[in-house]
Amino acid sequence: MRLSTKHLLGIRELSPQDIQLILDTASQFKEVLQRPIKKVPSLRDVTIVNLFYENSTRTRISFELAEKRLSADTINFSASGSSVSKGETLLDTVNNILSMKVDMVVMRHSATGAPHFLARHIPAAIVNAGDGINEHPTQALLDAFSIRERLGTLEGKKVAIIGDIMHSRVALSNIYLLKKMGAEVTVAGPPTLIPKHMAEAFNVRVEYDLNKALQWCDVANVLRIQLERQNQVLFSSLREYNLAYGVKKSLLDNLDKEILVMHPGPINRGVELDSDVADSKQSIILQQVENGVAVRMAVLYLLAGREG
């Protein structure tokens, strides 16, 4: 089977069959990653550039590792330290890199739509590694993979996405993916951090009471408060945010079930998530990171035109 798309720009453009194919292919690559020799020759003839115009730890390392595990040739580009500071445009930068015969571009950018712009102008396959407040498709895929690994399926599972929904590309990609795969979604947080008309636009539940959201869900995906994207005061203080919306051990201990706790990272410890929850056995945060490599291997492998 093949993907229905040449690029991975967002989950919005994927079909449920595409998502299933990526997750199933990732399961095979996860098996490869358990072996003593964790490398396969699948993309030996492919050159990939990782183009990061915005900071990243997990996504960047994960893509680079995925590319190396697939035996691709990789080039890493950071906007800082490049000729971007001399005024070179995005398109000029990319065309110069492509003239060196690059097949795929993995791109993170603070501007919404930057990877879509590239996809319209260059022949290489583009993978969106996070664009502004729009989408972060590989994060949603690795989140889904991690839920499926722990709970067996996404169908019918109740996922609460908690926190700064307004500024989160992870939230949007997760909502698209979970709804396409038959999960139920609640977005929870303060009214100032949840866009209006969310329920109608995305067919999700909206909950302003954290405890009720936790009572309802099988999985709590807790999001980072994105202070760098907020240009107005949306809550009184980080301390008060933690009191009202921080996920705490005492809240989880009061539930009549054990839920999974996820977070895409980086965590603001003591703000949206307390350390004793982040480091507890209910937390699968580091498994998410581990699964990210297999998921990104699957995405790159399938976009290179290899059969899943």
Q: Which residues bind ligand CP (CB under 6 A)?
A: 56-60, 130, 136, 139, 264-266
Minimum CB–partner distance for residue 288 and ligand CP (Å): 8
Minimum CB–partner distance for residue 175 and ligand CP (Å): 16
Nearer to ligand CP, 64 or 207 (CB): 64
DSSP label of 77? E
Nearer to ligand CP, 15 or 57 (CB): 57
Minimum CB–partner distance for residue 255 and ligand CP (Å): 26
Separation of alpha carbons 103 and 124, rounded Å: 5
Separation of alpha carbons 26 and 142, rounded Å: 9
Separation of alpha carbons 123 and 223, rounded Å: 34
Nearer to ligand CP, 25 or 59 (CB): 59
Separation of alpha carbons 55 and 282, rounded Å: 28
Nearer to ligand CP, 169 or 180 (CB): 169
Strand partners, 188: 162, 207
Minimum CB–partner distance for residue 131 and ligand CP (Å): 12
Minimum CB–partner distance for residue 177 and ligand CP (Å): 15
Minimum CB–partner distance for residue 266 and ligand CP (Å): 6
CB 188 within 8 A of CB 208: yes
HSE (CB half, 13 Å, CA atoms) of 171?
27
Q: Where are the alpha helices (DSSP H) in 128-282?
A: 137-151, 169-180, 198-202, 210-216, 238-245, 249-253, 275-278
Minimum CB–partner distance for residue 293 and ligand CP (Å): 13
Nearer to ligand CP, 42 or 128 (CB): 128
Give the position of tokens 């895409």: 264
Nearer to ligand CP, 63 or 245 (CB): 63
Nearer to ligand CP, 16 or 266 (CB): 266
Task: Give me the amino acid identity at 137.
Answer: P
Strand partners, 74: 48
- Of the candidates 22, 6, 14, the residue with the CA atom closest to the CA atom of residue 126: 6
